Amino acid sequence: MRVVVSIGGSVLAPDLDPERVAAHAEAIERVAADGAEVGVVVGGGGVAREYIEAARELSANEVQLDRLGIGTTRLNARLLIAALGERANLSPAEEYDEAAAALRRGEVAVMGGVMPGQTTDAVAAGFAEAVDADLLVYATSADGVYDADPNVHDDAEQFAEMTPEQLVDVVVPMSRDAGASAPVDLLAAKLIDRAGLRSIVVDGTEPSVLVDAILAGEHTGTDVVPEASEEPDAWEDR
Ligand code: UTP
């Protein structure tokens, strides 16, 4: 099985706790030890936001802000690479081909952001599309996809399963509403829909959740299941 995991910066490094980073690396190692090819896209989290806010006050333009954000995603990616040691690529891949080449070498392929105008949600979907991944997993601070922003609407309900089309429909209004936070951004949802990527959105705060979700398809988040898609082979044996 080939899997791309997106780990939000706020999940991997809400603060600089080496034990938390080590726990995430261990979860990734367990998946790789089971025979899966693993790509990981790391987000910028709070550090990215702080840099972006500071630079915005200094009148930096949006591209400059995005470049700062990309820098922090790569900084966090380096932290994960440090924890993975020789199993990972030496430095964060800066484009999909570079990450794909690391996968071919048998490494855990770690990367951060790629280019201005998007977030690592879209990078993870682009990477998964580029390498024909069997599974794309978003380890976020939200426990799945809801029919409305649960931070705003008390009665929001979580989807256990949905189609990529439904994901796009849910994310479109959230991306128009400045206050709302979508579980994955609109570009990511569109790429998932376009490529028919089987995806999972889970609360990744507890790293072992990732192992069960990837190796057995067991989790309490949301499955995004394209029509006519099959379960990864690895799940059938369990
Ligand atoms: P994140 O992917 O961490 O953004 O990238 P986010 O969605 O705001 O973070 P979470 O999910 O809440 O933790 C941080 C910033 O880096 C820039 C964007 O400015 C983004 O907001 N970025 C990232 C890019 O411009 N291009 C990329 O490919 C990735």
| Atom of ligand 1 lying closest to residue 65 CA | 19
Q: Quote the percentage of the chain above a pLDDT of 70.
A: 98
Please list every protein residue whose CB sits less than 6 Å from any atom of ligand 1.
Answer: 8-10, 43-45, 48, 65-66, 69-70, 73, 113-116, 118-120, 123
Q: Ligand 1, from 73, 94, 95: best to mutate by most atoms within 8 Å of Cβ?
A: 73
Cα distance between residue 190 and residue 172, in whole Å: 10
The DSSP annotation for 59-126 comes to T--HHHHHHHHHHHHHHHHHHHHHHHGGGB-SS-BSSHHHHHHHHHTT-BEEE---STTS-HHHHHHH
pTM score: 0.96
Q: Is 198 left (phi over 0), alpha (psi -120 to 50) or beta?
A: beta
Task: Using the mean position of ligand 1's atoms as its centre, give its distance from the Cα of residue 169 in Å.
Answer: 22
User: pLDDT, tens digit, for every residue of 8-22?
Assistant: 999 999 999 999 999
| Region 47-54 average pLDDT | 96
Task: Answer whether residue 83 shows pLDDT above 70.
Answer: yes
User: Does the pLDDT value for residue 238 go beyond 70?
Assistant: no
HSE-up of residue 84 (Cα within 13 Å, Cβ side): 30
Cα 125 versus chain centre, distance: 8
With both helix axes pointing from N to C terminus, report the angle between 18-33 and 208-216 in degrees, rounded to the nearest 10. Answer: 20
Three-class SS state of 183: coil
* Minimal-distance CA residue to ligand 1 atom 16: 69
Say if CB 223 and CB 136 are below 8 A apart.
no
Q: Which pLDDT score, from 0 to 100, does residue 175 have? A: 81
Structure tokens at 121: 């949600």
Rounded to whole angstroms, the Cα distance separating 3 from 134 reads 6
pLDDT digits (tens, 9 = 90+) for 120-152: 999 999 999 999 999 999 999 889 999 988 888
